[in-house]
Amino acid sequence: MTSLNPADSRPLYQQLAAALRDRITSGDLQPGARFPSEADLASQYDTSRNTVRLALDALRNEGLIVSQQGRGTFVRSAPPTRYYASLTGSRAQRLEAERQRDTFTQQIERQGRTARQVSTVEVVPADAEIARHLNMSAGTTVAVRRRVMYADNEPLQLGDSYYPIDIVQDSKIMNPADVVEGTDQVLEDLGHTPTRYEDEITWRMPTVDEVAKLHLGPGIPLGRLLRTSFDQNDLPIEVYVVLLPGDRHVLLYEVEA
């Protein structure tokens, strides 16, 4: 039995969580390694299984461990950051790639994975946020193209694109089929060339719906990127909102001083 420091006034389960966290970060328990069972930990640290579970809850919420009913608990293997670099800055040599930012497929296949998308198109009234970014009044009808994007048949991100209805009416964008040349190209063909983007990045915990749709594990937050595209006349022509699970993404920006 390994005892915890009695001078420590923190709750037992927090002390236990800290001790176990150390065993992970110190390398005593390697990524992928099997964790001692709850019963083992309870007897090792001379406490109850209940308290052990409270400690494990904390580690689970930090994303350090994962549990599987019937199999055991394991140290999460090296952050599965599958790494999807999505956004470049303004350097000249990135221009060509940037023109194809909407072709999610290319980005994934460049990483040697198979991409798949499921799209739907709707016409809905704009909520306050979308309307503000498109510089219209709330409730104005807009076209929205909703996509679920998969890599290797695992859901990777959820993306909704909003367009003023008068711009995309009767265009390819209203067709749920994949737009292989990228929506930016379509917008350019319609006389609205995207020349500038404004990005807002926030992060929060997912709702239950999002957990189901994105196959999220516990303790995985969502990043949210809202990108507003402006055309050659500096008019907003698209609002793109994408939700990115924190265990699979890194956003990259390059900024000139």
Partner DNA sequence: TTGTTGGTGTTGTACCAACAACTTCTATGT
Partner DNA sequence: ACATAGAAGTTGTTGGTACAACACCAACAA
Interface positions with a second copy (CB under 8 A): 14, 17-18, 21, 57-58, 61-63, 81, 87-90, 95, 98-99, 194-208, 219-223, 246, 249-257
Closest to a second copy by CB, 105 or 228: 228
Decide which of a second copy, DNA, none touches 17; Cβ closer than 5 to 8 Å per partner kind: a second copy
Decide which of a second copy, DNA, none touches 73; Cβ closer than 5 to 8 Å per partner kind: DNA
CA distances from 111 to 30, 105, 182, 245 (A): 27, 10, 19, 18
CA distances from 121 to 33, 71, 106, 147, 169 (A): 45, 42, 22, 9, 12
Residue 186 C-beta-side C-alpha neighbours within 13 Å = 21
Q: Which of residues 22-61 bind DNA (CB under 7 A)?
A: 35, 37-40, 42, 46-51, 53-54, 56
Amino acid at 145: R
> Cα–Cα distance between 210 and 229 in angstroms, integer?
25
Decide which of a second copy, DNA, none touches 141; Cβ closer than 5 to 8 Å per partner kind: none
Q: Which of residues 69-88 bind DNA (CB under 7 A)?
A: 69-73
For Cα atoms 42, 43, 46, give the angle at the middle one, nearest 5 degrees.
80
> Cα–Cα distance between 164 and 177 in angstroms, integer?
19
x/- map, 98-127, DNA, by CB under 7 A = ------------------------------
Decide which of DNA, a second copy, none touches 63; Cβ closer than 5 to 8 Å per partner kind: a second copy
